[in-house]
Structure 1
Amino acid sequence: MSKTIANGASLPTHGSRSLSTKHRRFLAKLTLLISGGMFIDGFILGSIGIVMPAITHDLALSTTWQGLIGASALIGIFIGGPLGGWLADKVGRRPMFTVDLAIFLVGSVAQFFVVEAWQLFLVRVLMGIAIGADYSIGWPLLAEFSPARLRGKLLAVLELAWYVGYLVSYALGWALTVSSATGWHVILGLSTLPTVIVFLMRLGTPESPRWLISRGRHAEAKRVAAEHMTHEEQRDLHAPSSVGRQGFGRLFSRDYLKATVFVSTFWVCNVTPYFAIGAFAPIVLRQLGLKEGLTGGLVLNGFAVLGTALSVILIERVGRRKLAIPPFFISTVALICVALLSHVSTTVVMVCFFTFSLVNAVSTTLCGVYPGEVFPTEIRGIGVGFATAVSRVGAALGTFLLPVAMSSLGIAYTMLIAAAICLVGGIVSQVLAPETRGKLLSEASSPSGN
């Protein structure tokens, strides 16, 4: 039995009925609140590269400090992902959902007042910790409230918000850099405004009924679920769980080792080439013969937003695997063409780079979907947090190693290395990627589902 939803997707319904107006409004608001955190994450990562020359001049940064400040938010996310996930599994999604954004707000405001390199580094590490925690709190919360037939689309919207935040930040930095009208303190501190808005809107968010059930608080879970979940999802709350112990160890148990390996590898192979190429897009494009490297980088990020939007539209139509696997192999071919044909024409280079940016974003969108689906409630927070931390290792390595590789190996070999990473991601996904389209959350996260 299937049902056609608003975008035309034909999906299994598991007997569920159309969402009520009240449920639709709640899901829309919750998606907006969590997307706000993702937007802010993309915003703070997109702005730092643009203003780094100004920061370097004003604070007299050494190359070491440039690297540390550039990677500071990634370092914080590496810490905050597992820590926030562990706390979300222990004390609940609801309290952490506002605490983490309050911490980020403090750091965002502090950026206006830093006068030393170490101060900026510590502030952005703190902000990164808060954002990393937000990944492992917000994604599980949305997954646990969403009906099966919409879960993938709603989770994919979160990645779209990240790319939009990155693009907006990059565009603002580009415009303000060209005009030289605004200092770097202001550009970095612009994240304060959306943070205040999202923080105030998050107050009063209900606790996840699935988490309440996992803690034995059945009466409270039943009351919240009756108000905010469909009948089918309410019944799914009581599906038996195979999880015994909680924490990191469970991620590497026989039941969930494959899911942990897949999600972590999938995420790393998506973001490592993206962060490397995206962070240094102007430099890379100039070395490939494009004079307007900064403008080319802006267009490159625009294609990434388009790719993510395509995933949001298609994910509940074609399923997860068809969006997760082919983009890796297309990216591999595109980057090999850049490496081998860069001397032919700049048009070839631009077409290949735009193709990479588009299809890489299509598969990267699944990084916001799979982690929330393949782990059970008891370890969903720590599972998302661990995958977040591992992905940021890849992002940091890509950011640090790309300029080194370009100077020592040349642009062609550097692009071949990026292509090899995409190829590994495609092979691993072909073997391990599950199809969770239309499955209830208890089915998608069961050991047999993985």
Structure 2
Amino acid sequence: GIAIGLDMPVAFSFMAELLTKETNAKFINFWQPLASFSNILGVSIALPFAINAVTSHIWRFTVGFGAVIAVVALVLRLKYSEESPQWSARHQTLEQAAGVLGKTYDLNVIVEPDGSDDTMEEEQKHGVRELFGQKQRAKTVLVSICAFAQQLQYYGVGFYIPVIAAMVFGKDMVSTIVATICAQGLAMLAGLLGVRLTSRLGLRRLGLVGYAIVLVCLVWMGLIGVHGGQDPSLLPVFLVAFLLAGSSFGPGPLSKTLAAVVYPTEIRGIGTGWSETMGRVGSAIGLFFFPVVLAAIGIKSTMLVIAICPIIAIVALLTVRWGEKSQRQSRLVTPEAG
């Protein structure tokens, strides 16, 4: 938790700084289908053990595999990671900034002396309070709602796909794992479609479409419930799969990408960190909320309660504006001018 909490805001801010305004949202959104792929990979590790009825230590292999990915990420960071040119220009000397710019974009950057003093001005300190100033308050409210609502509905429902599948398939772990892989596969395809349509639709429309799909699935599940036993209905599993797909198409990417693209360089890291915090609060509540409420009021009512999340997010997206139109117009600006 500490590692992810420290790394994710840095990773998203780093990508937003390196990419142009035309492409940053599109390429940052790739995190969503990759997350679905990682879920498929993690669950697939458990499948051969389940087929051979060796289930007592499955969790050791699935959790331990994460260490392999962490080592790969660490090596790549050590080899290729660099400060962003924007950050360097504000916090380092011109020579250092020119070196970062040249290394990042493979350019020959020369700093010609102009007689000015290259002494760095006293660095202005930025904090969380700035996110709630008059200029950024509306953006921060929207970022908070989207991150919180998405993570709560995902961890309240999508994370419990195995539990819902088990209600349908009983103790058949192989069927439960296969259903989870299929649902995450659909989510990955939806995430890739969202990436492809990001530049055309924009983050707002992606979010609205995705939240609408999630809302329909939650309400539908709230009306039909889950039927297991001797005559199980697969409809709830399909609905959860489409809920994941809708989430991966818009709300998922929006929950993290939005903060990375709406804030300026000076507070981008703080903004993405705040977004991650709101998302993790939502995920913690969802993980605790779902089983407790499920036991108290049943699955139908639980789904209808969780449906409040996409409703609130849709209202926020329709109400709060963050200048997405001006970001699209920036495509007309040349890279030199940008």
Judge same fold: TM > 0.5, yes or no: yes
Contact 2:260/2:272 (CA < 8 Å) preserved in 1?
yes
Contact 1:271/1:391 (CA < 8 Å) preserved in 2?
yes
Contact 1:159/1:368 (CA < 8 Å) preserved in 2?
no
The alignment partner of 2:82 has SS state of coil
Deviates more, 1:382-391 or 1:274-283: 274-283
The match for 2:101 is 225
Mapped partners of 1:257, 1:229: distance in 2: 34
Mapped partners of 1:211, 1:342: distance in 2: 51
What TM-score does the superposition give when structure 2 sets the normalisation length?
0.81
* 1:257 counterpart letter in structure 2: R
Q: Could you give the per-residue CA deviations for residues 92-144 of structure 1, whole angstroms, max 9, x where no partner exists?
A: xxxxxxxxxxxxxxxxxxxxxxxxxxxxxxxxxxxx11111111111111111
Pick closer, same or farther for the CA change 1:186–1:331 going to 2, 3 Å.
closer
The match for 2:190 is 307
Equivalent of residue 258 in structure 1, options 138, 158, 161: 138
Equivalent of residue 160 in structure 2, options 256, 277, 280: 280
The structural deviation recorded for 1:340 is 0.8
The structural deviation recorded for 1:182 is 7.8
The match for 1:249 is 129
The match for 2:69 is 194
* 2:273 counterpart letter in structure 1: G
The structural deviation recorded for 1:378 is 1.3
The alignment partner of 1:254 has SS state of coil
Contact 1:334/1:355 (CA < 8 Å) preserved in 2?
yes
The structural deviation recorded for 1:290 is 4.5
* 2:75 counterpart letter in structure 1: L
| 1:341 is aligned to 2:216 | no
Mapped partners of 1:247, 1:175: distance in 2: 49
The alignment partner of 2:135 has SS state of coil
Mapped partners of 1:325, 1:218: distance in 2: 43
| 1:361 is aligned to 2:237 | no
Equivalent of residue 209 in structure 2, options 286, 305, 326: 326
Mapped partners of 1:433, 1:352: distance in 2: 31
Mapped partners of 1:142, 1:315: distance in 2: 16
Mapped partners of 1:258, 1:216: distance in 2: 31
Equivalent of residue 381 in structure 1, options 259, 265, 269: 269
* 1:262 counterpart letter in structure 2: L
Larger relative CO (CA 8 A, sep 6+): 1 or 2?
A: 2
The structural deviation recorded for 1:166 is 2.1
* 1:256 counterpart letter in structure 2: Q
The alignment partner of 1:191 has SS state of helix
Equivalent of residue 16 in structure 2, options 143, 149, 152: 143
The alignment partner of 1:410 has SS state of helix
Mapped partners of 2:275, 2:140: distance in 1: 7
Contact 1:320/1:366 (CA < 8 Å) preserved in 2?
yes
Pick closer, same or farther for the CA change 1:185–1:331 going to 2, 3 Å.
closer
Q: Among the aligned pairs, what percent are the same residue?
A: 23
Pick closer, same or farther for the CA change 1:201–1:153 going to 2, 3 Å.
same
The match for 2:239 is 352
The structural deviation recorded for 1:310 is 1.1
* 1:224 counterpart letter in structure 2: V
Contact 2:142/2:317 (CA < 8 Å) preserved in 1?
yes
The alignment partner of 2:328 has SS state of coil
* 2:266 counterpart letter in structure 1: E
Gaps of 5+ in 1: 1-127, 232-242, 444-450
For the pair shown, the structure with the greater C-alpha radius of gyration is 2
Pick closer, same or farther for the CA change 1:294–1:405 going to 2, 3 Å.
farther
Pick closer, same or farther for the CA change 1:325–1:217 going to 2, 3 Å.
farther
Gaps of 5+ in 2: 108-122, 334-338
Point out 4+ residue stretches in structure 1 off by more than 6 angstroms. none
Pick closer, same or farther for the CA change 1:430–1:176 going to 2, 3 Å.
farther
Mapped partners of 2:73, 2:213: distance in 1: 37
Mapped partners of 1:315, 1:272: distance in 2: 23
Q: How large is the RMSD of aligned CA atoms in angstroms?
A: 2.6
The structural deviation recorded for 1:262 is 0.8
Pick closer, same or farther for the CA change 1:257–1:411 going to 2, 3 Å.
same
The structural deviation recorded for 1:198 is 2.1
Contact 1:149/1:316 (CA < 8 Å) preserved in 2?
yes
Mapped partners of 2:321, 2:293: distance in 1: 31
Mapped partners of 1:245, 1:195: distance in 2: 32
Equivalent of residue 415 in structure 1, options 291, 303, 321: 303
* 2:10 counterpart letter in structure 1: I
The match for 1:438 is 328
